Amino acid sequence: MEKLLSNLIYCGDNLEILRKIPEKSVDLIYLDPPFFSNRTYEVIWGNGAELAVFQDRWQGGIKHYIGWMIPRIREMHKVLKDSGSIYLHCDWHACHRLRVVMDDIFGERNFQNEIIWHYTGGGRSKNYFSRKHDTILLYSKGSIMTFNIDEVRVPYKETSGYAQGGIVSKKGKLYLPNPKGTPVDDVWDIPIINPLSKERQGYPTQKPEALLERIIRASSNRGDIVLDPFCGCGTTLVVAHKLDRKWIGIDVSSKACRLMEARLNKIGVSLIRVIGAPKTIAELKKITPLEFQHWAIDRISGTPSKKAVFDMGIDGYTFLDYNPVQVKQSERVGRNVVDNFETAVRREGKTAGYIIAFSFTKGAHEEAARTQQEDGLDIKLVSVNEIDKYF
Lowest mean pLDDT among 179-188, 196-205, 366-375: 196-205
What is the location of CATH 3.40.1350 in the chain? 281-390
What is the predicted pLDDT for the residue at 154?
A: 93
Partnered with residue 115 across adjacent β-strands are 136
pLDDT tens digit sequence for 10-64: 988 899 999 999 999 999 999 999 766 544 443 344 444 455 544 445 566 788 8
What is the location of CATH 3.40.50.150 in the chain? 8-146+186-275
Task: Give the whole-angstrom CA distance, residue 217 versus residue 245.
Answer: 10
Residue 190's pLDDT band, with cuts at 50, 70 and 90, is: very high
pLDDT tens digit sequence for 56-103: 455 667 888 899 899 999 999 999 999 999 999 998 888 999 999 999
pLDDT tens digit sequence for 282-300: 988 988 888 788 888 878 8
Report residue 327: phi and psi, to 5°: -120, 130
CATH superfamily placement of domain 8-146+186-275: Vaccinia Virus protein VP39 (3.40.50.150)
Helix, strand, coil percentages in the chain from 3-state DSSP, rounded to 5: 35, 20, 45
Amino acid at site 55: Q
Task: Give the whole-angstrom CA distance, residue 147 versus residue 151.
Answer: 9
Partnered with residue 112 across adjacent β-strands are none
Amino acid at site 52: A
Task: Give the whole-angstrom CA distance, residue 303 versus residue 323.
Answer: 10
Length of the chain: 391
Rg (CA), the chain: 25
First and final CA of the chain: distance in angstroms? 37
pLDDT tens digit sequence for 319-352: 888 999 999 999 999 999 999 999 999 999 999 9
pTM greater than 0.85 (yes/no): no
Partnered with residue 312 across adjacent β-strands are none
Its CATH class, for the domain covering 281-390, is alpha beta
What is the predicted pLDDT for the residue at 5?
A: 73
Burial 161-193 (b: 16+ CB within 10 A, else e): eeeeeeeeeeeeeeeebeeeeeeeeeebeeebb
Partnered with residue 139 across adjacent β-strands are 86, 111
> Is residue 353 a contact partner of residue 380, using CB atoms and an 8 Å limit?
yes
